[in-house]
Amino acid sequence: MNVRPSILCPVDFSKFSAGALRYAAAIARNFSTRLIVLTVEDPLLTEAVDLGTGIVWTPAAAKQEMEEFAAKTFGPDSPVLAILEYEVAVGKPAAEVLRVARERSCELIVISTHGLTGFRKLFFGSTTERVLRETTIPVLITPASDPGQLGREDIKRLIGRILVPVDLSPASVRQTQIARQLAELLGVPMILVHVIEPLKSPLAARLHLAGLEADRRALAEDGLNELMATLPLRLHPEALVAYGDPAEELAKVARDRNAGLVIMGLHGSPLLGPHMGSVTYRMLCLSPGLVLALPPGAVFRGATQDDVAGDRGEGTVTSATVPPPGRSPSTIAPF
């Protein structure tokens, strides 16, 4: 079994997966790692072509199609073609993607929001959704567009800023440090955002909400202060406490601050494993840019134990920008 770290990019020969393949190739070249291009064939179709159609399906023919797809995506003389490896699987797409990622020791899956098994609610591919629900390694979800040729400066320009939605649970420390690594690698700023959801309960009407909301904001500020203290000032980190629907508010922040990369954590439990929450799902539907989904315990290669634990930064934060309840966080002041 091959244990050399790799990146996996499933493709279905659509323009959506062409865009994902460009992003995957840019990452693979930057980290000098292998890129495995995977296509998954439906077993019913592979059997049907052999039954009186005059067409014989073989894995070799499928690999040839992938080579032609890659040549069309990058150009026939592109040096990117030399780092690509091709794999063909037969079965259910999501299950095969996860199997190949596991067997080939992949550290990252790069997949488009659309494609592979059609559209779901006209927003989100069902294969991508299932991969996110069951993955144990990070998944980079790319938008439904082809960004064109990508170099390091192109990626830096497209990302602009990294948005890190945090729920202030213990997993937020790991999530923040992975975002820090990427921000340092790309030379882009980052912003931490915590969204306080309005209390929706008949009991809330009978409570002293002004004091309760103040306490909730204070707790959020304290949590963000602790995370901000782990970040060096050279990254120009910012933090924001917003109030409202989490996915909607996060999408607003991403648009207002030109954040082209959102780093979100996937939830998990000992019994069920990682799973995608409703906020993550809606954010994926709303986000026009890249989303990196991190399953519990995810660590990027090159991370040190100090990074994961949260080493101290070059400064600390003493206050947070807090919009009043009911207002959009469209104006965000840095610390």
pLDDT band at 287 (very low <50, low <70, confident <90, very high): confident
For the segment(s) 6-142, the CATH number from 3.10.400.10, 3.40.640.10, 3.40.50.620, 3.40.30.10 is 3.40.50.620
pLDDT band at 317 (very low <50, low <70, confident <90, very high): very low
Tens-place pLDDT, residues 91-134: 888 999 999 999 999 999 999 876 444 333 333 467 888 888 88
pLDDT band at 46 (very low <50, low <70, confident <90, very high): low
Q: Do domains 6-142 and 156-289+299-309 have the same CATH topology?
A: yes
Average pLDDT over residues 21-27: 93
Specify the pLDDT at position 271.
Answer: 46
Secondary structure (3-state) at 89: strand
Q: Measured between alpha carbons, how far is 29 from 129 in angstroms, rounded to an integer?
A: 27
What are the residue ranges spanned by the domains of the chain? 6-142, 156-289+299-309
Specify the pLDDT at position 202.
Answer: 62
The CATH number of the structural domain formed by 156-289+299-309 is 3.40.50.620
User: Considering the entire predicted model, what is its pTM?
Assistant: 0.80
Tens-place pLDDT, residues 250-269: 999 999 999 999 999 887 55
pLDDT band at 69 (very low <50, low <70, confident <90, very high): very high
Per DSSP, the residues of 131-148 read HHHH-SS-EEEEPSS---
Secondary structure (3-state) at 114: coil
Average pLDDT over residues 52-81: 86
